[in-house]
Amino acid sequence: MSKPQIDIIPSDKIKRQQWNDCIQKSSNPLIYAYAYYLDSMTNNWHGIIINDYEAVMPVPWRKKYGIRYTYAVPFIQQLGIFSSSKEKYEDLFLQQLFQFCKYGDYNFNYSNRIITTARTNFIIDLSLSYEGIYKSYKDDLVNNLKRASKQGLLYTKDEDYKNAIEIYRSIYSDRFTNTLKNDYKNFETLCIYLQQQNSVIIRSVKNASNKLLSIALLLKDENRLYNLMNTTLEEGRKTEANHFLLDQLIREHAGTNLIFDFEGSDIPGIKSFYEKFGATDQPYFSLHFNKLSPLIRWIKK
C-alpha cells in the first residue's frame, strides 16, 4: 500500500467543492464541518487533507503569545475526521494535528476511533412514525405532555432567527461564559446564509394570550435537525412549554429519515430531560493535549 499524501492547507486555499463533497459523502456527515459553517464561526481554520480530499479534518485555531492552539468553537459541537473511504487514518491525522497545534482542545465526532473523553449527545431516529417514537417516552414526560395539553398552548412557525438568537443570548449568556457577543454575531451571519437554503427552522410555543413561552432554533442538513438554541422563558417552565415544543417538533418531522440531534448534554438536568424522550446517547470525543516544550509548559503555569 502506497503512503498516503497528506497536506494541511489554510481555509482560503481549500477547494471548497471537493471539501464539502468529502463531508457529504462520508459515513458521518455533520453540518459543523462544511466550509461555510467553519468560515462563519471560527477565527481561523486549516484543513488536514489526505489523498486529494479522500479524507479531511478541519482544525480551528487561534494564537496566543505566538503559540498556535486549537479550541472548542461555540455552536460547533464536534468536528474530527470525515472520510469517503473505509480507511480512517486516525494516527496520521493526530500526528498532523500535534505538529500544527502544540496545545489545545478538540472535539472528535461520534464515529472517530480516538481514545479520549466521551461526551454525551442524545439523538432520536425520525425515520420512525411519531407513534413509534412516542412509545419510548418516559412516563413522567407523558404525564407532563398531558398537563401541557390542558394549557391551551399554541405551536407556531417563525422565521425571525435574530429574535430567537437574542432571546437565547439574553437568558443563557451568563451560563455559557465562553460564548462571546461576537460568537452570536457569527452565528447570525451563518443563519443568514442557511435561511436562504431553507435550512433554518424556528418553532415556538405561545399561550392563548400570544405570549412567548418557549422557542427553538434548529439547523437542518440532509441528515439531521440540530437543536442549536432551545430557550424556555420563566412562565413557560410553569406550563411544560418546552416538553410540548420538542414533542411537537418530533411529531412534525417524524417519518422524514432525519436524525433529531438534541446537541448534548453532560449537564445532569438537561441530560435527564432529553432522556425522557427515549433518546439514544451517541457520544462524541473530547481531547485535551499539550505538546509544548517543558520550558514553555513551566512558564505557562
CA contacts within 13 A on the Cβ side of 179: 21
Which CATH architecture group holds 122-281?
3-Layer(aba) Sandwich (3.40)
CA 216/CA 274 separation, integer angstroms: 14
CATH number of 6-119+284-300: 3.40.630
What is the rounded average pLDDT of the residues 36-64?
96
Output the pTM of the full model: 0.93
Give tens-digit pLDDT for 102-153: 999 999 999 997 878 999 999 999 999 999 999 999 999 999 999 999 989 9
pLDDT at 299: 46
Confidence at residue 177, expressed as pLDDT on a 0 to 100 scale = 82
Average pLDDT score over residue span 234-244? 92
Which pLDDT score is estimated for 16? Answer: 96
> Would you state the cell numbers that stand for residue 276, as one nine-digit string?
425522557
What pLDDT is attached to residue 34? 98
Which pLDDT value is given to residue 217?
Answer: 98
pLDDT tens readout for residues 162-194:
999 999 999 988 888 889 999 999 999 999 999
**Overall average pLDDT of the 273-292 stretch:** 94
Q: Is the pLDDT of residue 281 over 60?
A: yes
Q: Is the pLDDT of residue 1 over 60?
A: no
What per-residue confidence (pLDDT) applies to 301?
46
* DSSP symbols for 73-142: PTT---B--EESSS---HHHHHHHHHHH-SEEEEEE-TT----SEEE--EEEETTS-HHHHHTTS-HHHH
Positive or negative torsion for Cα 54, 55, 61, 65: negative
Confidence of residue 297 (pLDDT cuts 50, 70, 90): low
> Where, residue-wise, is CATH 3.40.630.30 in the chain?
122-281
